Structure 1
Amino acid sequence: MYREGKVELIPAADAIIILETVLVDKLATGNGPKPPRPYHLPDADLKKRYRVTVDARPVNNLQLTVAGNNFQWVPRSVSSGMPKADLESPNQHQQGPIDILNNWPSFATTFYGRLDLSDAFYSISIPERVRSLFCFRTTCTVMDDTGNLNSLGDSFLWRLCRLPQGWTYPPLIFTRALSHLLYLFRAQCKLRVHIDHYQDDLLLGAADEKTLNQCIEDLSDFLEGYGFVVNRQKSTYATKSLRFCGYVLDGPTYKPEGSQQELVKGLAESALHEFFHYKRNIPLRQLKWLRSWAGKFQYYRGWLAPEGVSNLKLFFARIKALQAEGARPITDDESLCTAFTRLTEMVFGGRLPALHFGLGGSSTTGVLL
């Protein structure tokens, strides 16, 4: 990381906050079995397997305030009454994958491509004055004959020079930075290709294979010129079917990815068992359960057939009943069980129909085939 310019050595006087380091295993994702972790790995394999970041929660608890002509970070617990800096909220709306697909033009639905950026957040530098908020310490160690790590006593202070994962602002900062670069690229690109992105997932579409592949190469060169690392081996060149952020794009249609049927069945049974076996605050917890699942299903309402919409309406009817004063717990509800099982099969079991690109669907759905 030091050789790559991602961190820099600093004296203790320059460290405002010293954070705990976090080692992220890139392969330990999902609910499947975790791959083994060898004790000895070459440097190249270490970099491929792990990402080093920091526990940024102490920084997330700071408020940027105005002090005269300057700014200062202070704990939120003591910031009451202090004039606060006019920062954009890190939680402001950013377009999601479904927004991108709903607005995808029909001319760009014959071939798709995807650009893979390696450690994309670490391609964005942070200002000098912010870096001292993201410091961490390392200690030199040596391994003895028994395989134990022993400290040599020498410690070093470092600070991050690039966007740290875990801080509240990097997703917004990264999106703004990449969106601006794509704006510049579109202005100079003469190819008829549509390009959009969700965070570091870049999606491209075009009417012919040659044009799309040329654009992928040109965009890769362009982004590399601004310090991004494009993994061309993991990037996807022109193809008629592509997975993008949980959706399957296939020619002029798109739909959510499905799960394995046995996993869906187990999910439904486990969730229903939880709903009917709360021990304390039962009506309140059942209401929270219903709202949570109704929100998940509502997101896919545009894909639901009439039967699915009716099942979803039953959810909202049960929510309304539990919101009434003096509502009693739901102890036995065959209709709710049936509706929930069918909705999970539709939404998570790959039974949703495809939507068609570019046929004037609403702002939240496309058009059912």
Structure 2
Amino acid sequence: MTTTTPNIRKGNCYRCNKPGHRAGVCRSQNVYQLNKRCGKCEDFSHSIVDCMRTLLTPCPRCRKPGHMAGVCIEPAVNHQSTTSTTATNNADSGPKESATTESALMATQVDASFSYLNAACNTDLKLVTVGEAIDVPIHLPLHQYCRVLPVADNYNQGVLCRAQIDDGADVRYEERPTKVTYRTVFGNNEVQHHNTAVLLKFRLCSDDGHTDVDSSSQVIELPFLVARPCTPRLLFERPALPFLRVPASGNQPLFDEISNDNGTIKLKANIPMLETATVMPRSESSRSRSTTDRYILADVCDRMVADGELARVSPDDEHKITCINEPVLVDKQDGLRVRRHPIPDSDVNRCRVTIDLRSVNELQLRDGIWIAPRTVHSKNLAAPQRPYQFKDTAAMLLRDFPPSSRQWFAKIDLADAFSSIPIDSALGDKLFGIRVSVPGENRPRIYAGRGLIQGWRWSSLVFARSVRYVLNKLMVPPGSHICHVQNDVIIGSHSKEACLALQRRVIDLFRHYSSPVWEDKCGDGPTITFCSLKTGSHTILPAPKHSIDEKAIDHCLRELDDATDLNALLRLLRRWAGTFRYCKQWLPPEGQQALAHLYSIIGKASQADASFDLLCNDAKSPLRSLGHLYVRGLPSLYLFRPWAIATLLATDANVDNWAGVAISVIQVPNSFLKEANVPVLGTLFKDLVDLCRRENIVVDREDYEILCLPAAFDGGSFHSNSFPGSALALTRSSTFRERAAQILFANRNSRVLAGLVYGVTDNVNTIREWQSAITDFCGAWHSLYSNYISTVEKILWLPRTSPTVALIDALARECTVSHNENHDEEPNIVNFKVVQG
């Protein structure tokens, strides 16, 4: 293949191949070999179809973007007239340095998730140091610039305006050196670095084309970054936003403190990225309700308006409500009792109103506009990815409670949760509108939220941050500790007096921030129930609202026998599955499998072709198994972290699956075991106690007992692709899989590790030096392997006949369970993980 060599002589015009001028001022009507050149970058090696360049500056010949002067076929601008005008203006303004400013604004690609907006300058600018200034004569009086409105942390919306450069005495380029170097990546992958900014003053003017200067119009200073070695020379972009007097959303605090007339303070949530966002209108269909419920809804909403939680929207302002959602009437009454209207005084607080915000929670950002997907609740479509926000659970917070603060506990229950944090009216009108149809009225009532709404995906996170904001104002004395889960606050201290004094200070502090407290729900003692967990000095036990005993289990099975249709069966199974699922993380492996089986029965009962008799018989076994586990007290959470001496990671792997258990090794006084009445898992881990003695992990002490308590059960299948390199493990030796099980278990359960960490396995090769580890655990395994070798002190060996190894081997075999009678079908992969604490 041959390449055509261009016949343009050096020094000739690159447009017409004639000497004496440049392509930017070429007047020839013909372009030399135009059919053999790229119509954009004037290169002979490719055509415009294959051109990968992005041109940032307009053509100097026709002042139009998209091509270079060498292949310009547009009419040339009158350079003579421009030169003449320049000379005239220079003569009028005296011996000043000239600088022309183009009106073209071009977007470029940068290495962050926002756009730079470039203002092009054809001539060089003479920049001076800070404090010096030079006058700049302007030859093009009207200039079109882009006002940047920050609407999110990493997103800017540009609005084109007409403005006039002020050519008075104060117009100047002023250099502002910074200590930070900004990096810009242009569309053609060219990189520029700059650390200097200049200010240019503008006057706003009308867009009717008049060039007269209005001296009374507003003057705006716009900062630009200077890119000396490239064209354009000035970059108008986000790093200069602090000079714009318009604070970016990233610089605004999450809460504003608003003073009340009574001397208290109210926290107002600041969410500017949603307050200024554009939302497509949406309206949910009205639900069928009884007349009584409609009246109750209207009364409760009016009461919320009086409390400032909602705002009644007048008919003239209904067009401002973008999303109209359906309210939900929540009856907090225990048992069955008819709702009545007018509401009796005894039932004033019986009902509350929330909003069905499923469509609002599914809003997606498309082209700068927040819209709801076409089908929000369709079962035929995969659930959209949601941004999850992590908050510590009550078990995690109590597990990390300092040992010195466990002698006495106190708790505080805040009366108002989400509604106590007001939001901007723009956000409430945009997302939280509700419609209530009242009998006898000719039009429905429209309300809008003025506080955080329960059910909104961000409400729990913002409210949790508000509680932490208030608690951070408090100086906690030594020996005390405070943590919270939403509106429940727990205080621990080294003595009863210190705990109660701190409790009173916290109550007064929340009242100062306009957060009332249910004092009748506050309590204290050496043990306390916090978020359905019974907390003591060293242990945490589950305390569900409805206790589970032999009578409750027998009653459940009788209800199962008395069920007559699928709807009654579903209600029963869902109620008990929810109760058992509450303590899911404390169930041993057999309870975990029984709970998974129970949920599979619920799924089958929801199908149209479900068999009632068959499902009733299948449900008895997991219900009975789970009930007996609860009665025996096995689902218990142990919190002996202050006494933890070591953690043993016992794992096993076969051809397809792996499993493991984390064992906490503790040594506690015999007197404490008698008083605490801690349930034990039999003698399953007695062999681990003997192993700890042989390896000198723990030494026997008089009147002390050595216990090995399970902290986490975990396991999975190598077929599930739930971890990096899972397919590789299927093709390697058994030693590789045993080591892989150790690495996976240690990484997935790192938060339960305490004290010295030891690995336990029945594979002799695993305890030897891993000479091939560098080549075996590379690529996706590398970070997991690095964490493992920096955590585990030593790997110990147990014979395969030991009870612990037999238990883990059984767990690994249970990871793959087939519930189908047809053995030709693939088995269902069950990837279980049970973590205590």
TM-score band, normalised by shorter chain? 0.5 to 0.7
Taking the aligned partners of 1:175 and 1:345, their CA distance within structure 2 comes to 37
Q: Which amino acid aligns with 2:462?
A: I
C-alpha change, 1:134 and 1:239, in structure 2 (3 Å) is: same
CA deviations over 1:216-245 (Å, ceiling 9, x no partner):
111112122223221112222x21232222
- Is 1:17–2:323 an aligned residue pair? yes
Choose from 446, 465, 472 the match for 1:157. 446
Give the match's secondary structure for 1:151: coil
- Is 1:262–2:262 an aligned residue pair? no
Fraction of identical pairs, as percent? 22
- Is 1:107–2:430 an aligned residue pair? no
C-alpha change, 1:270 and 1:66, in structure 2 (3 Å) is: farther
- The alignment of Structure 1 onto Structure 2 pairs a total of residues equal to 306
C-alpha change, 1:318 and 1:116, in structure 2 (3 Å) is: closer
Q: Which amino acid aligns with 1:164?
A: I
Q: Which amino acid aligns with 2:446?
A: L
Q: What is aligned with 2:533?
A: 247
Q: Is the 8 A contact 1:264 1:344 kept in 2?
A: yes
Choose from 419, 423, 430 the match for 1:122. 419
Q: What is aligned with 2:374?
A: 77
Q: Is the 8 A contact 1:105 1:357 kept in 2?
A: no
Q: Cα offset for 1:298?
A: 5.5
Choose from 127, 130, 137 the match for 2:435. 137
CA deviations over 1:32-64 (Å, ceiling 9, x no partner):
x3345343335x655421212222122123224
Q: Cα offset for 1:189?
A: 3.0
Taking the aligned partners of 1:210 and 1:176, their CA distance within structure 2 comes to 29
Q: What is aligned with 1:215?
A: 502
Flag the structure with more relative contact order, 1 or 2, with Cα contacts below 8 A and sequence separation at least 6: 1
Q: What is aligned with 1:169?
A: 458
C-alpha change, 1:40 and 1:189, in structure 2 (3 Å) is: same
Q: Is the 8 A contact 1:261 1:349 kept in 2?
A: no
Give the match's secondary structure for 1:115: strand
Q: Which amino acid aligns with 1:135?
A: G
CA deviations over 1:136-178 (Å, ceiling 9, x no partner):
2345x6xxxxxxxx51436532201111112222122222322
Q: Which amino acid aligns with 2:355?
A: V
Please report the RMSD computed on the Cα atoms of aligned residues, expressed in angstroms. 4.1
Choose from 34, 37, 41 the match for 2:339. 37
> Highest CA radius of gyration, 1 or 2?
2
Taking the aligned partners of 2:432 and 2:596, their CA distance within structure 1 comes to 49
Q: What is aligned with 2:308?
A: 5
Q: What is aligned with 1:84?
A: none
Choose from 228, 235, 250 the match for 2:515. 228
Choose from 473, 479, 484 the match for 1:185. 473
Q: Is the 8 A contact 1:137 1:158 kept in 2?
A: yes
Q: What is aligned with 2:836?
A: 365
Q: Cα offset for 1:91?
A: 2.9
Q: Cα offset for 1:260?
A: 3.7
Q: Which amino acid aligns with 1:202?
A: V
Unaligned runs of 5+ in 1: 80-87, 142-149, 279-290, 320-330
Q: Is the 8 A contact 1:256 1:350 kept in 2?
A: no
Q: Which amino acid aligns with 2:414?
A: L
When normalised by structure 1's length, the TM-score is 0.68
Taking the aligned partners of 1:64 and 1:203, their CA distance within structure 2 comes to 39
CA deviations over 1:52-94 (Å, ceiling 9, x no partner):
2222122123224452xxxx32122399xxxxxxxx9553332
Taking the aligned partners of 1:353 and 1:292, their CA distance within structure 2 comes to 17
Q: Is the 8 A contact 2:594 2:626 kept in 1?
A: no
Give the match's secondary structure for 2:503: helix
Q: Which amino acid aligns with 1:39?
A: H
Choose from 619, 623, 629 the match for 1:346. 629
Taking the aligned partners of 1:351 and 1:106, their CA distance within structure 2 comes to 25
Taking the aligned partners of 1:215 and 1:199, their CA distance within structure 2 comes to 19
C-alpha change, 1:152 and 1:343, in structure 2 (3 Å) is: closer
C-alpha change, 1:232 and 1:14, in structure 2 (3 Å) is: same
C-alpha change, 1:295 and 1:17, in structure 2 (3 Å) is: closer
Unaligned runs of 5+ in 2: 1-303, 377-384, 567-576, 599-613, 645-663, 665-710, 712-751, 753-834
Q: Is the 8 A contact 2:594 2:625 kept in 1?
A: no
Q: Is the 8 A contact 1:272 1:337 kept in 2?
A: no
Q: Cα offset for 1:16?
A: 0.5
Q: Cα offset for 1:207?
A: 2.0
Q: Is the 8 A contact 2:412 2:490 kept in 1?
A: yes
CA deviations over 1:231-272 (Å, ceiling 9, x no partner):
112222x21232222221234322112424322344468789
C-alpha change, 1:114 and 1:65, in structure 2 (3 Å) is: farther
C-alpha change, 1:118 and 1:256, in structure 2 (3 Å) is: same
Q: Cα offset for 1:338?
A: 7.2
Normalized per residue, the structure richer in helix is 1
Taking the aligned partners of 2:462 and 2:470, their CA distance within structure 1 comes to 13
Q: Is the 8 A contact 1:110 1:252 kept in 2?
A: no
Give the match's secondary structure for 1:171: helix
C-alpha change, 1:265 and 1:171, in structure 2 (3 Å) is: farther
